Structure 1
Amino acid sequence: MAGVRIERLVTSGTFSLDGGTWDVENNVWIVGDDDEAVVIDAAHDADAIARALAGRTLRAIVCTHAHNDHIDAAPDLAARTGAPILLHADDLPLWKQTHPDRAPDGELTEGQSVTVAGTRLTVLHTPGHAPGAVCLYAPDLAALFSGDTLFAGGPGATGRSYSHFPTIIDSIRERLLTLPDDTVVHTGHGETTTIGAEAPHLQEWVARGF
């Protein structure tokens, strides 16, 4: 049996909030082995995600936050696989904008562990981009799944409803930049980075109001 691995699937769709809609590409992260997996952010295309799972047992659909582009395919994927959808309770108001008639199946809380193929993913509550935004830290894989909290080059956007720039900076400073420098940051959009690559730029982001 192959060991635990991280796979990236890029899906395309739209992001809508505050009356605007934008075309986006999202990273869907699949963590697991040959037998089982978890999906982090079921974005846009349940068919493509199901194909990538290739018959593996899906243990959970983990939502880093509830902007529509990160959760729009989650109910369809859950219906196909029987996997529970997990979301931090503070993002329920955003979730209901996209899925008013279908609630998540369980809550993500600070310090909670999601385990797949013997590997533990620890939930870090990192509000700012959204109130219930979380990251998932897998020390055994030297990996952080950051959703839209931290990207290659700066923090996630905070110019729309439910977001707050000082809060995201606090989250990044206190929860993420304390991780080992060699931790690979697997982001919600775009390319990966590392904690070590991003940490030196924190004060620049604060000064610019990034």
Structure 2
Amino acid sequence: MIRNLAQGQRSFTSNTFLVAGADVMSDGADPEATPLDPDEGRTVVVDTGNEFDIVPVIERYVEDIDAVVLTHTHPDHVGNTAEVVDAFDVDVWGFDPDHSLVDHRIADGDTVELGAHQYDAIHTPGHKEDHLCFHAPDAGVLFAGDLVFAGGSFGRTDLPEGNREVLIDSIDRVLEAVGPDLREMHTGHGPSVTDSPYEDIDLSARAARTM
């Protein structure tokens, strides 16, 4: 189960994803009111978003979480982190352990458990130096952060630590890792892609080279 907790929010926030082992609600349940009972794996929040009260949104679906995992540390992706840590007493995992919010390092090539699947961490700088993408080969799922978006757009490179050539290299790495059989791509902003997401990443690679 992957759910975007920031859906419908009008604050300056990234998407924030609750990833749990359970894939479905109880039969006949109200999906906006019934907590999930994850039956396996680790219940994780990928990016905490910013400027909205995320804790009750998490509690709408699960009683507890096991960890917070960050794609990168731009404020719109991490602004709610302290509140999540306080509410659930969890550690935060990310690329840069020197960042004040990050308790544990995820290095390039590490494997992390999100929900019921194992994800490979891919260091993908260019938008920000500490940027990570997470790919589950067996499930065909990618968390792309702000590297690429639906429709062939890509992350900004005009912010500190941004670099267009490095971003292009990162997109190429992800393309090679995921392959055409990718089924789902969940991005830091905008809609997730469940229809041929590999094609969107390929379009992003081309656009980043020409724009």
Q: TM-score, normalised by structure 1?
A: 0.79
Q: What amino acid does structure 2 have at the position aligned with 1:167? A: V
Cα shift at 1:123: 0.9
Q: Does 1:195 align with 2:198?
A: yes
Cα shift at 1:163: 1.0
| CA shift in 2, pair 1:200/1:117, >3 Å | closer
CA RMSD of superposed structures (Å): 2.0
Residues 92-131 of structure 1, C-alpha deviation per residue, up to 9 Å, x if partnerless?
Answer: 5xx5xxxxxx442111111112214541122111011000
Contact 2:4 2:15 in 1 (8 A): yes
Equivalent pairs: percent with the same residue?
Answer: 26
Q: What amino acid does structure 2 have at the position aligned with 1:195? A: Y
Q: Which has the higher strand share?
A: 1
Q: TM-score, normalised by structure 2?
A: 0.78
Secondary structure, counterpart of 1:144 in structure 2:
strand
CA distance in 2, matches of 1:75, 1:142: 31
Of stretches 39-48 and 183-192 in structure 1, the one that deviates more from structure 2 is 39-48
Q: What amino acid does structure 2 have at the position aligned with 1:131? A: E
Partner of 2:166: 167
Contact 2:135 2:178 in 1 (8 A): no
| CA shift in 2, pair 1:47/1:162, >3 Å | same
The number of equivalent residue pairs is 184
CA distance in 2, matches of 1:201, 1:168: 10
Q: Does 1:106 align with 2:113?
A: no
Structure 1, unmatched stretches of 5+, are 14-23, 96-101
> In the TM superposition, what are the counterparts of 1:120-139 in structure 2 within 5 Å?
120-139=118-137
Contact 2:44 2:68 in 1 (8 A): yes
Contact 2:5 2:54 in 1 (8 A): no
| CA shift in 2, pair 1:154/1:89, >3 Å | same
CA distance in 2, matches of 1:199, 1:103: 33
Partner of 2:17: 29
Partner of 1:205: 208
Contact 2:137 2:178 in 1 (8 A): no
Cα shift at 1:141: 2.2
CA distance in 2, matches of 1:201, 1:54: 35
Partner of 2:65: 58
Cα shift at 1:205: 2.6
Q: Does 1:87 align with 2:90?
A: no
Structure 2, unmatched stretches of 5+, are 23-36
**Aligned partner (choices 9, 15, 31) of residue 5 of structure 2:** 9
| CA shift in 2, pair 1:9/1:46, >3 Å | closer
Secondary structure, counterpart of 1:145 in structure 2:
strand
| CA shift in 2, pair 1:201/1:50, >3 Å | closer
Of stretches 75-84 and 178-187 in structure 1, the one that deviates more from structure 2 is 178-187
Q: Which aligned segments of 4 or more residues in structure 1 are displaced greater than 4 angstroms?
A: none
Contact 1:114 1:120 in 2 (8 A): yes
CA distance in 2, matches of 1:88, 1:201: 23
